[in-house]
Structure 1
Amino acid sequence: MFFYNAQFWRFVIVGVINTSNYYVLFLFLHNIVHFHYMAAHIISFIISMVGSFYLNSYFTYKTKPTLKKFLQFPLTYLVNISVSSGAIYIFVVLLKINESISPILASVLAIPFTFIISKIILTKETN
């Protein structure tokens, strides 16, 4: 069960840090630079993913980051960005939820998927 797993809680801590970084960058790009909300979301997402790779490698899973893992890591976020982007669209367009709040709500939906996939990639032994 996730709640008794120390890795899961380290993942949650990294997730809070990463989501905070993502959200600050999103708000900056959307509200100050005036990027479209979806462009701000995708740019912020990609930048925060790099930080997430290193934090999860060193802190969550205590593994050495390698180029191979770095190149595979975006696969962990393929589901994440699909779920979160779809959810943002639904929240903003269909449910009329504020564009600045929707990314946080959408991020929560993708957490379990990202944990499982990142654990598989980052803890897999390299040849």
Structure 2
Amino acid sequence: MIRRQLIRFAAVGVVNTGTYYACYLLLLPWLPYVAAHVLAFAVSMVGSFFLTCRFTYNTRPTWRKFLLFPLTNAANFVITTSGVYLLVDVLRLDSTYAPLVAAAAAIPVTFVVSRMIMLGGPAPDAEAGGDSASTNTRESLGESVARTTPTA
């Protein structure tokens, strides 16, 4: 199940990159490049959120998840930026290829962060997937506590 989610996560990343670039190119004739970048980034991140919810994890989008989702991009930024520096300045890899290697290295960490946001933790859920397994577990725990808690 996690392997399938990781493959879908990577596919969403490809779609997200294409969406970003298409929006960027469409906005570029009318806006300064930084504004085009920021707007294209925002549009692609919103699209990525919904694709990640439905396609990658088969979970319901919520406002909480939506507000936490940018943390996946922050994690990716920190890892790729650190990775490029390490690869170029320390390991002397060609700067042309370093971002690609760093981006590939960031996928597993970004996947774990997104999984924690979308599903509430890095542990695999039941095959039913998504929030339903977590909710069922919480409901079961609540029922167990209710049965063992003395009433007045």
Task: Provide the TM-score with structure 1 as the length reference.
Answer: 0.66
Give the C-alpha shift of residue 84 in structure 1.
6.6
CA separation of 1:80/1:5 partners in 2, compared to 1, >3 Å: closer, same or farther? Answer: same
Residues 85 and 106, structure 1, Cα contact 8 Å, conserved in 2 = no
Q: One-letter code of the match for 1:12? A: A
Task: State the match for 1:27 in structure 2.
Answer: 25
Aligned counterparts of 1:50 and 1:107: Cα–Cα separation in 2: 24
Structure 1: stretches of 5+ with no match in the other structure: 88-96, 98-103
Q: One-letter code of the match for 1:29? A: L
Among 36, 49, 53, which residue is 1:53 paired with? 49
Give the C-alpha shift of residue 82 in structure 1.
5.3
Aligned counterparts of 2:45 and 2:38: Cα–Cα separation in 1: 10
CA separation of 1:24/1:105 partners in 2, compared to 1, >3 Å: closer, same or farther? Answer: farther
Aligned counterparts of 1:47 and 1:107: Cα–Cα separation in 2: 24
Greater radius of gyration (CA): 2
Please state which structure has a larger fraction of its residues in helix: 1
CA separation of 1:6/1:21 partners in 2, compared to 1, >3 Å: closer, same or farther? Answer: same
Aligned-residue Cα RMSD (Å) equals 3.3
Aligned counterparts of 1:23 and 1:83: Cα–Cα separation in 2: 21
Structure 2: stretches of 5+ with no match in the other structure: 85-95, 121-133, 139-152
Q: Which has the higher contact order (CA 8 A, sep 6+)?
A: 1
CA separation of 1:84/1:69 partners in 2, compared to 1, >3 Å: closer, same or farther? Answer: same
Among 106, 114, 118, which residue is 1:118 paired with? 114
Aligned counterparts of 2:19 and 2:54: Cα–Cα separation in 1: 18
Quick one: percent identity of the two aligned structures?
43
